[in-house]
Amino acid sequence: MTDPTALQKLVTWLSPAFPVGGFAWSAGLETAIADGAVKDAARLQNWILGSLRHGGIKTDAIIVAEAHRRAHDGDLGEIADLGLALTASRERWLETTITADSYRRAVAHWPTKVVDRLPDPCPYPLIVGAVAAGHDIALADTLLAFLTATVHGQISVAVRLVPLGQSDGLRVMAALEPEIAALATSATNGSLADLGGLAYAADIAQMRHETLEPRIFRS
């Protein structure tokens, strides 16, 4: 169990108020909403569930875990190259690198030598995992916090754009908690060999977002 001080850091670093600009990105969800593929709470839950089980959120969780394990003496460049290669579109590449750059600047107020080992460009999940390890925060807790924040972000997009009521958003969050916990457990015990996805609809939505007009989000 993470000690209270470490848990406090996690809550701060993955809060919507932490200045990484995550609110500006939708990871392709805006396209799915514009197309009518996500138009209510049930479809939103199914969309996020697909990403947790087979898509980008699963990939990010595995990268968080591997970065955490290699933070002090492993090859972080290899993970960065792989993580960036797996982004489905230019906008998603920008999303993960821009948020990582912002995270690097913000987390400098909690110094750790691990930051000096980070590659450039760096995917966002890599820096989250590595910095947590640099502060001796348990991997399981890091993953649970990261995944919860990621799903919160997706629900927030839908609450604003579909639009969904707050109650519907909370209902989806509660329903997805077991899936978040399951992915945190599997990523904790997994490796890069577990990478692989089948969330083609989400990948295509991310690619098509580059030409979506009008749009609110950057991805």
**CA 205, chain centre distance (Å):** 17
pLDDT recorded at residue 2: 61
84, part of any domain = yes
Domain assignment of residue 35, yes or no: yes
Which residues touch 171 (CB under 8 Å, ≥6 apart)? 41
Q: Examine residue 218 and state whether it is found in any structural domain, yes or no.
A: no
CA distance 127 to 133: 10
- Which stretches of the chain score pLDDT less than 50? none
Give the pLDDT confidence score for residue 197 in this predicted structure. Answer: 80
Question: Does 20 fall in a domain?
Answer: no
Q: Domain range for residue 189?
A: 30-207
Which of 34, 78, 73 is CA-nearest to residue 191? 78
CATH for 44: 1.10.4190.10
Residue 185 lies in a domain: yes
Q: Which two tokens stand for residue 64?
A: 């968080």
198 assigned to some structural domain: yes
d(Cα 4, Cα 6) in Å, to the nearest integer?
5
Asked, for residue 124, whether it belongs to a domain, the answer is yes
Task: Say how far apart CA 180 and CA 193 lie, in whole Å.
Answer: 20
CA dist., res. 152 & res. 92, Å (int): 18
Output helix, strand, coil percentages for the chain, rounded to the nearest 5. Answer: 70, 0, 30
Q: What tokens does 211 get?
A: 């030409």
Domain annotation covers residue 216: no
Total domains in the chain come to 1
Predicted pLDDT of residue 90: 94
Euclidean distance between CA atoms 47 and 54, whole angstroms: 11
